[in-house]
Chains A and B, each alone.
With several copies, the nearest count.
Chain A
Amino acid sequence: MKFIRYLIPPPAWRFPVILALGIFAGLFGFSFYVSKAWSYLSDDPKTCVNCHIMAPQYATWTHNSHRQYANCNDCHVPHNNVLNKYFFKARDGMRHSYMFTLRLEPQVIHIKEAGQRVVQNNCIRCHENLLTDEPVLSQTLEAHHNRMDRQCWSCHRETPHGRVNSLSSVPYARVPLPESPVPDWIGRIMKTKK
């Protein structure tokens, strides 16, 4: 309680501070709303495309066999425990929105080292069965470590984003894809017909 009291401003300041806090909260809420920040908490790939600069990755992902099995977060966020997942997300989200707002994003985005480690572990997480060979496993562990120490995408170079990568590399892609290829009005007309 004592500690809270320190935070309460002297009476003369109270009004301006409340006002400032209000404006602050309002701005925060507005930003939160406009940038669809709440969606960061979800796993929906469309979240990422809120930023148009993620469009190339989104577009390439939707044309890759992984779109059925793995969303952005399956690869780009740690899955070893829940805390780590949100910590990583928050840290990344902060940098991305900061850079985006200040227009610091480069023409060609490169995944950072920390991100690479996360992705690698996720590839292994899903494909572990394929990467382990029972007869060999029964003799030695090393062969398996050896098999996983290189970045999977140093060979699987087109997985999942293809090789041409720039903010302008997929200009005409529909991002995100329309919810449904059947427009509402057709649905309505068809219903009324019935």
Chain B
Amino acid sequence: ASSIVERRAEASFAYSPKNEFSQFEPNSAVWGENFPREYQSYLETSDTSFRSRYGGSATHDMLAEDPRLVVLWAGYAFSTQYNQGRGHQYALADVKNTLRTGAPAPGKASPQPNTCWACKSPDVPRLMNEKGIAEFYKGTWDTKGTEVTHTIGCADCHDSKTMNLHISRPALIEAFERQGKDITKVSHQEMRSLVCAQCHVEYYFDKKQIEGVAYLTFPWDKGMGMDSIEAYYDSHGFTDWTHSISKAPMLKAQHPDYELFQMGTHASRGVSCADCHMPYKSEGSQKFTDHHVQSPLNNVANSCQVCHREETDKLVQDVYVRQEKLIENRDKLEKLLVQSHVEAGKAWELGATESQMKEILIGIRRAQWRWDFSAAGHGNSFHAPVETARIVASGIELAGNARVELARLLATLGWNREVPYPDIETKEKAQKFIGLDMDALNAEKAEFVKNVLPGWK
């Protein structure tokens, strides 16, 4: 009986703020004192035990699971290391430990700019407020190692006075402005996705606007679809890197989660990211948002089943079936891309001219852009399966056409048979094939971790 009394009391109980702090407080523990439920669940993103068929918070070494990726990214840092993302607690640790940021040491700069911190920490808005936006991005990544010290936290998504959701990153606001949209006018439900869209989006570093600054930019001026973004890059003459085998002018897609999600059924029904990845939860009569941001497959009851009455198994299968059907063809596209790169490499070897290669290389760029756009968002196959499938199919077509042209060109150059498929059975073989000296890279990084990182705490 006393518990009934207690539980009726809960209904009228509310928290009163205990702690005062500023908007730029980067330490989530400070915010957390006022909001213990949210804070406790937020800390759970450090749990790495859940693994679903293709996702989850356990680390997947993507290059080991699929060594073709190494060849697709030959000449680009992604070929050295690429893991599937895990919980927000690891954002900072992972950007420091990845080979992609290199091994800065006294007198030796990181190959990456400070822009790489942009989506990893609430110190970012704080520093931007202190120094200015461009000034923050400026310089190599190692130069702010001592200043960016808190992983993704409350200040990234919340207003400190009202605890309303807010946008802390200029790139998103700027992208809205350039599209003629006002981000302050969006609905509460849209905010429940837009806070994620600060980071879970395709981006590039615009180096043309401000001398010496890799300015974080979302390429949405012509729209957020795969084709519109490609058109944007084409019209800006933008290229991420030149492929080291085929010499194709490549684009890299990074996690276009928000963009693709919008093309799916759930978005069209007004469902937001938080509905699945941060569902509401009630403890007693206290309702709060589960801040353990994670794969909904680890929490089907509170995410999917709020809207769907099917059994857990069935809902999980829904997700897997879509992922499988998509990945089957994405894998084929990957193979075609490996072939295209090595065939183009062969053509150069046999003396092909720039003008003979031009159209072919553009075909490869476009095909791989499609592959990457579909693959880089780890939720795409479920978020928007039909659009993702459309993108994959159009990539297969482009790769096939490029290979027909390559076959004709190779024949002209005197090579009229198959170009052998490289032996890239394992990540190690693939990295060797593209000419990486992994031992050296790993050794350097170990030095960095041992000598430099401790000073960044």
Contact = CB atoms under 8 A, between A and B. Distances in A.
Q: Do chains A and B touch in the complex (CB under 8 A)?
A: yes
Interface of A: 27, 30-31, 34-35, 52-53, 100-101, 103, 106-108, 110, 121, 124-125, 128-150, 154-158, 163-169, 171
B35 A164 contact: no
A177 to B, nearest CB: 17
Given A101-B4, A107-B282, 13 more contacts: A125-B4, A132-B5, A133-B286, A138-B13, A138-B18, A140-B164, A143-B162, A163-B307, A164-B306, A165-B306, A166-B279, A167-B282, A168-B287
Interface string B283-317: 00111100000000000011001111100000000
B275 interface: yes
Interface of B: 1-9, 11-13, 15-16, 18, 34-37, 161-164, 188-189, 270, 275, 279-282, 285-288, 301-302, 305-309
B161 A128 contact: no
B275 A128 contact: no
Given A140-B163, A156-B306, A135 B36 contact: yes
Contact of A34 (B4, B16, B279, B281): B4
A104 B135 CA distance: 54
A131 B287 contact: yes
Contacts of B188: 146, 149
Contacts of A163: 307
Contacts of A156: 306
A64 B17 CA distance: 39
Contacts of B281: 107, 168
A157 B189 contact: no
Contacts of B5: 34, 128, 131-132, 137, 141, 144-145, 148
A125 B1 contact: yes
A130 B16 contact: no
A122 to B, nearest CB: 8
B306 A128 contact: no
Contacts of A136: 35, 163, 288
A62 B307 CA distance: 19
B237 to A, nearest CB: 43
Contacts of B13: 137-138
Contacts of A53: 282
Contact of B287 (A140, A141, A171): A171
A167 B16 CA distance: 24
Given A137-B8, A148-B2, A166 B306 contact: yes
A53 B287 CA distance: 11
B287 A130 contact: yes
A145 B2 contact: yes
Given A34-B4, A108-B301, A135-B37, A155 B275 contact: yes
